[in-house]
Structure 1
Amino acid sequence: MIDKSLFTFDSVRSRLGLLAALAFAQALCVVAQAYGLTLGLVEVWRQHSLSAIVVPLAIFLGAYLVRQLCDVGKARVANRYGERIIAQLRPELQRKVFTLGPSALADRGTGSTVTMLIDGLDQVKDYIEILLPRMMDMTFIPLIVLVFVWTQDWVSGVVLLAMFPLLIFFMVILGMAARDRSNKQYAQFRILNSKFVDSILGLPTLKMLGVADDYEDEIYSVSERFRKRTISVITVAMTSTFALDFFATLGIAIMAVFLGVRLVDGTIDLMPSMFALILAPEYFLPIRQFGENYHATLNGKNALHDAMTFLDTPEPPQDDTLEWDGWNEDSELTISALDFAYPKTKADGDTSVGGGVAMKAVEQQRDDEDGAADASSTPTTNALTDISLRFHGYEKVAIIGRSGAGKSTLANVLAGFDIPQSGRIELDGRRLEHFNVTAWQRHIAYIPQTPYTFSGTIADNIRFYEPDASREAVGRAAHEAGLDSWLSQLPEGLDTLIGEGNRGISGGQAQRIALARVLVDQSREVLLFDEPTAHLDIETEYELKQTLLPLMERHLVVFATHRLHWLADVDQVVVLDQGKVVQAGRPTELIGAGGPLDALINQMGGNQIDGYAQ
């Protein structure tokens, strides 16, 4: 039940000390309450006057009141400390998500990450609020109660002392079974969340492909597995509760029999026997509550372990030392013999990925056409092999290739999302080990093929990466991104509310909002596009292209695409095949040379180029 990482938090010892003091005071109140009740019952049994029970009744009520105040105090201390821990954990987890970057987020799964940050932290809070007071109760109350019982009747003390290890034994045995089943249940819960969130986000695509019904069956199957896991945990929890209650009741019954026999024999008085008997249930109460709450807080323990494991994920190397003023017409980037391979196991953030990109990292998605091929790569099968490229000045570079060729992977490496295993990188004569370099990332803008919009106004979405951007800057960016005609049709204009996940807007409008986000910040001279028009129809793509082309001026543009019509507008084309550069150069030099580019054009249809070049 106890996760050791809980004791690494700030001020946990002082909070435990305060809870221990309250638990000790509550234990004394339990004894005083039992004493007052016993004394009052004995006075009634002896048929004394009503005034004789005033003092015992006052003791009982006073102890009861203080006991309840101690309960309230423990709950308040634990609640405030739980809120403090969550307030500390949430920003740390969010920072970790951005530091690890979108590749780690894709490996873990959107649903699983959302579960950890929202439901998981709520469960952690409940875990802290319940666990800490129960720990202190079980530490002090049984011990103090046992001491007072022993002073009244050593036989009863022996019975209680003998039953305690038996209760602990069964609680440990059943707790281990519950822990294993709860771990499986929590893992299934994460799978269910991932499936559900992914299905909601991908519902339009599923409907378009005609597989929504099949995915419905998959959701049902995952839900059933989670239900069975939950029933399994509940079964063990009920068995555990029964065992604890049974042995606690058995212990009290044995103690009552011994007391009754000796009371009849006259070897013990009524006062000590009744006092010991009334204290007996209080002796077992903390461990029974601890056992019951063990099952109620297992998800919280698992969530805490999940969060701490995520925080312990090794962060990718990041260089903050480079001094670089940005890209200009004389800048040069040289890449030689670069290799990149995905880890063999990519789960729960166990992979080194790029991050620290406050600008566009959250938008990067791995559910593109390269993703399926790249995700299956292993260290023995490189996703990128022996990549050698040279970019100079304000040129436009197209990265083309078949699906799975490694286009998106190369874009991820250039953005610093993924760290290459080997290779030589030089930026304006400065040697880099990778692209996860703060100075480089401050000057790049990344636009994925499926940009994300958040619930809020259009203006808020445009200034998402520049929250302090003025209204004029937002309006200028919207104008340059070609949003004017759409905004003119909206009564609220830039103040129009749009839904999360591009709800209520078209794919082309979402792409233009993503462009406007880039344009709000004029300091980014390097534009990385990962097939931004892949999911658009040809008319929308053509309109967006007319907006994009002027914006590409005076920028280094790296454009991953499999739409060949872009070749007429770029200065350099790089052809990828199975993670290798098989051809590179100017389109005018490569087209018609009989190389891999011509083969790709013939396969995809060469009329695309001529039609758009006119």
Structure 2
Amino acid sequence: MIDKSLFRFAGIRRIMGLLATLSLVQGLSVVGQAYGLTLALVQIWHLHGLHTLVRPVLIFFTAFAIRQLCDVAKQRVATDYADYVVGELRPQIQRKVFRLGPAALAQRGTGSAVTMLIDGLDEVRTYVFTVLPKMMDMVFIPLMILVVVWIQDTVSGIVLLLMLPLLFFFMAILGMAARDRSNKQYAQFRKLNTRFMDTVLGLPTLKMLGISEEYEDEIYSVSDRFRKRTMSVIRVAMTSTFALDFFATLAIAIMAVFLGNNLIDGTVALFPALLALILAPEYFMPIRQFGDDYHATLNGKNALNDIVTMLDTPEPDHLDDLDWQGWDSDSHLTVEGMDFAYPGPKPEEGQASGGSQMDAIAKSSGKKKRKGRKKSAIDATPVPAPGRDLDSTRTCGDGAEEGARQPDALHHVSFSLSGLTKVAVVGRSGAGKSTLMNLLAGFNIPQAGRIDLDGRLLEHFNARAWQGHISYIPQNPYIFSGTVADNIRFYDPDADQAAVARAADQAGLTDWVETLAEGLETRIGEGNRGISGGQAQRIALARVLLDRTREILLFDEPTAHLDIETEYELKKTLLPIMEGHLVIFATHRLHWLADVDQVIMLDGGRVVAQGRPEELMGEGGPLDALIEEMGGNQIADYQQD
């Protein structure tokens, strides 16, 4: 009945005890209300004077008021506790998202993660404040009414008692059917959210490639399947409701027949017969309400299981014993022979990222046109999860053993960095840029390799001493539920309002903030809800500007999803920030090469070129091939011989 995951929250037993007490009091008030009504009707039947109705009417209205007050109190207690549960879950999810990093969350998909963080928490809240009081009502109120009816009329009590297992049987059978269908529907909902979000994020690219209509057909197909699954769940829920109503009505009708015959025969008095008949609908009401609400809150139960599963996901090991004071002009970093492969089988098709899906569509669209048949590009081409590289999706089949891993996304990667320098990591889509950035941020753990940080040998970069000195801006910055100012304080929660305002102004947010009714105190939500991609990137930049103590800046294609005008404005903001830092900038926009000191080029998960841009360009090497392929006119003063 109640998901066992709820017992992980503090105070659940106290709340259940309080709700049980209120249900007991409400049960007594239901009996009192029926007693007062029955007594009044009997007095009227016997043609007694109006003064005899004063006492039963007072009993009725007193019991009615207590019943309503108990109902309001239960809803208040359950709602407050539901808010508490969501309030506990939200920061736990946010911390878990940050600790797991993009590599682990890639398994879920962008839309799925947003579903959990936004809609999932709302559904959990609905589940908690609905199910808890209704379950307490179902446990205590029918039991109290059964005892009273049995005392008043044994036959009626037997009818109610015999009908109860039948109701529970059909509620369980149909409930399990609805649960199974709801589980499938919730999984389909996650896929739909992933497809829709990735499509929205990638609309400019889809239009540029001329294939937006294909994604329109795909979204229609997925949403239509979701609609059919939803209707299937509703049909089962309506069948369950009909079964509960039918058997409840049948039991009341059987009681009425027995009571009517007994009244005619004179074997039962009017008062107990009428009291039993009035209480019969109240006996079935909590069971019927719980059955209805059970179907209505299945999504909340699924969302809670999804959240708990994510919270229980093991986190990567941390290096807590690293004694390192930070990066300066004399610091150096050497990485030798680093290998990394994603664990397990490749992610489900529906969890692929928009960017990867676009690459797949671009490669397959020509073939599809030649074949002249209409088929979704997503169905035609396997695609990787967000943050993964195309090469990393070549995996074993669905029957992969636990612990198996995919072929190397990075293989024997070696490079050296020193001092306050700007480094561009370039390569074709799927070359391993995002994977390398996640390794440097400590989100991915390499399977092999040697890391030398200022003479200290590390197994990986998931070390608090290292991460305390980096600011990481991914393609899609993490925007959590809170004010704009709260989001800017991400690295420095204690920063005052003046410092936040200065950082926002330096990041180019002032014009936008001035349009907001509450300025920096305007609330925004998870998944960049309520703001554009460019505004999210500028909030991420403001975080960097607010905390000047971090000497290492990691940028994973922060302008990948922006239009050229927004990117140009953002670049003017970025370049001054980069001065006096070690900057590692993964990008496929080659105009950045004119502004960096060093280039690391990846191809197929390997480093194929490294050095100063002027040393690598114009030599006919792999960087020139990439420049020619992607357009050398992006780079200032670039001319190939």
Compute the TM-score of the two structures, normalised by the length of structure 2: 0.80
Q: How big is each residue's C-alpha offset from its partner over 1:284-326, in whole Å with a ceiling of 9 and x where there is no partner?
A: 1111111111111112212222222222122222234323211
Structure 1 residues 156 and 120: CA distance shift in structure 2, 3 A: same
Match of 2:119 in 1: 119
Match of 2:450 in 1: 424
Matches of 1:275 and 1:540 in 2, distance apart?
74
Deviation at 1:402, TM superposition (A): 3.0
User: Could you tell me which amino acid in structure 2 is paired with residue 387 of structure 1?
Assistant: V
Are the equivalent residues in 2 in contact too, given 1:502–1:510 (CA < 8 A)?
no
Structure 1 residues 216 and 16: CA distance shift in structure 2, 3 A: same
Matches of 2:28 and 2:310 in 1, distance apart?
43
Residue 523 (str. 1) matches residue 549 (str. 2): yes
Are the equivalent residues in 2 in contact too, given 1:565–1:612 (CA < 8 A)?
no
Deviation at 1:140, TM superposition (A): 1.1
Are the equivalent residues in 2 in contact too, given 1:371–1:404 (CA < 8 A)?
yes
Structure 1 residues 75 and 574: CA distance shift in structure 2, 3 A: closer
Match of 1:45 in 2: 45
Match of 2:328 in 1: 328
Match of 1:97 in 2: 97
Comparing 543-552 and 295-304, the one that deviates more:
543-552
- Counting only pairs closer than 5 Å after superposition, residues 433-512 of structure 1 correspond to structure 2 as 433-448=459-474, 465-466=491-492, 468=495, 495=514
Matches of 2:406 and 2:129 in 1, distance apart?
48
Residue 165 (str. 1) matches residue 165 (str. 2): yes
Matches of 2:436 and 2:564 in 1, distance apart?
25
Structure 1 residues 97 and 28: CA distance shift in structure 2, 3 A: same
Match of 1:283 in 2: 283
- Counting only pairs closer than 5 Å after superposition, residues 107-186 of structure 1 correspond to structure 2 as 107-186=107-186
Match of 1:273 in 2: 273
Matches of 1:66 and 1:476 in 2, distance apart?
56
| Coordinate RMSD, CA, aligned | 4.0
Match of 1:357 in 2: none
- Counting only pairs closer than 5 Å after superposition, residues 356-435 of structure 1 correspond to structure 2 as 371-373=388-390, 376=393, 378=395, 379-435=405-461
Please give the secondary structure, in 1, of the residue aligned with 2:416.
Answer: strand
Are the equivalent residues in 1 in contact too, given 2:392–2:408 (CA < 8 A)?
no
Comparing 327-336 and 247-256, the one that deviates more:
327-336
Structure 1 residues 127 and 457: CA distance shift in structure 2, 3 A: closer
Structure 1 residues 478 and 460: CA distance shift in structure 2, 3 A: farther
Are the equivalent residues in 2 in contact too, given 1:335–1:425 (CA < 8 A)?
yes
Are the equivalent residues in 1 in contact too, given 2:106–2:386 (CA < 8 A)?
no
Deviation at 1:493, TM superposition (A): 8.9
Deviation at 1:132, TM superposition (A): 1.2
Are the equivalent residues in 2 in contact too, given 1:370–1:407 (CA < 8 A)?
no
Please give the secondary structure, in 2, of the residue aligned with 1:218.
Answer: helix
Match of 1:25 in 2: 25
Matches of 2:568 and 2:337 in 1, distance apart?
36
Deviation at 1:162, TM superposition (A): 0.7
Comparing 577-586 and 300-309, the one that deviates more:
577-586
User: Could you tell me which amino acid in structure 2 is paired with residue 7 of structure 1?
Assistant: F
Please give the secondary structure, in 2, of the residue aligned with 1:339.
Answer: strand
Comparing 261-270 and 73-82, the one that deviates more:
261-270
Q: How big is each residue's C-alpha offset from its partner over 1:81-126, in whole Å with a ceiling of 9 and x where there is no partner?
A: 1122222222222222222223344442333333322322222222
What stretches of structure 2 of length at least 5 have no aligned partner?
352-382, 396-404
**Percent of pairs with identical residues:** 66
Please give the secondary structure, in 1, of the residue aligned with 2:325.
Answer: coil
Are the equivalent residues in 1 in contact too, given 2:409–2:435 (CA < 8 A)?
yes
User: Could you tell me which amino acid in structure 1 is paired with residue 81 of structure 2?
Assistant: Y
Are the equivalent residues in 2 in contact too, given 1:30–1:63 (CA < 8 A)?
yes
Matches of 1:563 and 1:346 in 2, distance apart?
28
Matches of 2:147 and 2:536 in 1, distance apart?
71
Matches of 2:3 and 2:542 in 1, distance apart?
46
Please give the secondary structure, in 1, of the residue aligned with 2:637.
Answer: helix
Q: How big is each residue's C-alpha offset from its partner over 1:529-558, in whole Å with a ceiling of 9 and x where there is no partner?
A: 334566789999899878866765543333
Please give the secondary structure, in 2, of the residue aligned with 1:148.
Answer: helix
Matches of 1:161 and 1:130 in 2, distance apart?
26
Structure 1 residues 17 and 161: CA distance shift in structure 2, 3 A: same
Structure 1 residues 579 and 216: CA distance shift in structure 2, 3 A: same
Please give the secondary structure, in 2, of the residue aligned with 1:386.
Answer: strand
Matches of 1:543 and 1:52 in 2, distance apart?
84
User: Could you tell me which amino acid in structure 2 is paired with residue 213 of structure 1?
Assistant: E
Matches of 1:370 and 1:410 in 2, distance apart?
10
Compute the TM-score of the two structures, normalised by the length of structure 1: 0.83
Are the equivalent residues in 1 in contact too, given 2:333–2:453 (CA < 8 A)?
yes
Please give the secondary structure, in 1, of the residue aligned with 2:411.
Answer: strand
Are the equivalent residues in 1 in contact too, given 2:106–2:387 (CA < 8 A)?
no
Please give the secondary structure, in 2, of the residue aligned with 1:227.
Answer: helix
- Counting only pairs closer than 5 Å after superposition, residues 11-90 of structure 1 correspond to structure 2 as 11-90=11-90
Please give the secondary structure, in 2, of the residue aligned with 1:611.
Answer: coil
Matches of 1:446 and 1:325 in 2, distance apart?
19
Comparing 121-130 and 498-507, the one that deviates more:
498-507
Q: How big is each residue's C-alpha offset from its partner over 1:367-414, in whole Å with a ceiling of 9 and x where there is no partner?
A: 999845156254231101122233233344443333322122112211
Are the equivalent residues in 2 in contact too, given 1:384–1:406 (CA < 8 A)?
yes
User: Could you tell me which amino acid in structure 2 is paired with residue 119 of structure 1?
Assistant: D
Structure 1 residues 377 and 392: CA distance shift in structure 2, 3 A: farther
User: Could you tell me which amino acid in structure 2 is paired with residue 82 of structure 1?
Assistant: A
Deviation at 1:241, TM superposition (A): 0.9
Please give the secondary structure, in 1, of the residue aligned with 2:553.
Answer: strand
User: Could you tell me which amino acid in structure 1 is paired with residue 428 of structure 2?
Assistant: R
Matches of 1:571 and 1:586 in 2, distance apart?
6
Radius of gyration: which is bigger?
Answer: 1
Deviation at 1:602, TM superposition (A): 6.6
Are the equivalent residues in 2 in contact too, given 1:406–1:576 (CA < 8 A)?
yes
Match of 1:355 in 2: none
Are the equivalent residues in 2 in contact too, given 1:182–1:233 (CA < 8 A)?
yes
Deviation at 1:477, TM superposition (A): 8.9
